[in-house]
Structure 1
């Protein structure tokens, strides 16, 4: 009977080890997927930051041009602009 109990004990141990290995493989797969998603999110955030920087630069240039044009309009209205100079 002792050998029968040892066989059952060994069988249970083997099944437990197989289940533990399966759970570890599953956990590794989940960790790998999470790592990949985090990498994609980081890359996406970096691209968004670059796009936002370019958009802000264009907006700044547009505002400067509008201010310059407004200043020229005021100068022309007051007779101080280049268009009123006589050659």
Structure 2
């Protein structure tokens, strides 16, 4: 009878170890998935930042060109602008 109890104890211990291993594998998989998702999110944010920076630079250049054109028009209207032929 003692050997049967030892067998059951060993069996329970083995099953417990298998469950613990399975849970560790699941936790590792979840951590890997979260790490991958965070990496993709960071990369996407960086690309968005770069795109926004390019758009702002282009818009700034357009505003400067429009302001320069308006200033040239005012100068020409007042007769103080450069005469370009």
Shorter-chain TM-score tier: over 0.9
In 2, Cα distance between equivalents of 1:56 and 1:8: 71
Q: TM-score of the superposition, structure 1-length normalised?
A: 0.92
The total of aligned residue pairs comes to 85
In 2, the alpha carbon distance for the partners of 1:15 and 1:9 equals 10
The CA distance in 1 between the partners of 2:25 and 2:82, in whole Å, is: 77
Moved over 4 A (4+): none
Residues of 2 paired with 1:46 and 1:79: CA distance?
49
Between the aligned partners of 1:73 and 1:33, the Cα distance in structure 2 is 60
Name the Cα RMSD after superposition: 1.4
Superposition TM-score, scaled by structure 2 size: 0.94
Question: What runs of 5+ residues in structure 2 fail to find an aligned partner?
Answer: none
